[in-house]
Amino acid sequence: MKRGRPVVSIGIVSLITVFTILLLAVFSVLSLSGSRSDSVLSDRAARAVADYYAAEARAEQRLQELSAIAADDAVTPLGERLEAAGFEIAADTSYPGTVVVYNTPIDDRRVLRAEVGIGEQGEVERLYRQTIATGK
């Protein structure tokens, strides 16, 4: 009796099963890759927001310092007191009092620029606050 090679029968059900498993593996790899990139992006966004609000808090502290300097009735002129505290006085403005400009760093690429007006009676008024790219 002559024995022949065993016949391997690959039916349509086996082909569909192999193709389905292959397809599920490809989709799972794509899903994992997409979720990893989304995680990195959301971490960057969260860090940027946290850095911005930390800079906003530091800018408010600087504003409180500025208010204390403006309210002080010292013999030294206001301009000299502001410059001694590290504030920059803006020139050629249409504001009727003194305009003070200060920058608060957010991160290595952005700063928070604030412009504050000090009236004749020492009242402090925010003129504007803006995020500026430093170009790095």
d(CA 51, CA 59): 12
Q: What is the rounded distance in angstroms from the CA atom of residue 116 to the CA atom of residue 110?
A: 19
The amino acid at 101:
V
Taking only the tens place, the pLDDT of each residue in 81-92 is 888 888 888 888
Strand 124-133 relative to strand 110-118: parallel, antiparallel, unpaired? antiparallel
Can you tell me the distance from the alpha carbon of 103 to that of 5, in angstroms, rounded to the nearest whole number? Answer: 84
Closest to 66 in 3D by CA, of 96, 94, 89: 89
Cβ burial of 102 (10 Å; 0-12, 13-18, 19+) is buried
| pLDDT tens digits for range 12-53 | 888 899 999 999 999 999 999 999 999 999 999 999 999 999
Q: Reply yes or no on whether the pLDDT at 112 is more than 90.
A: yes
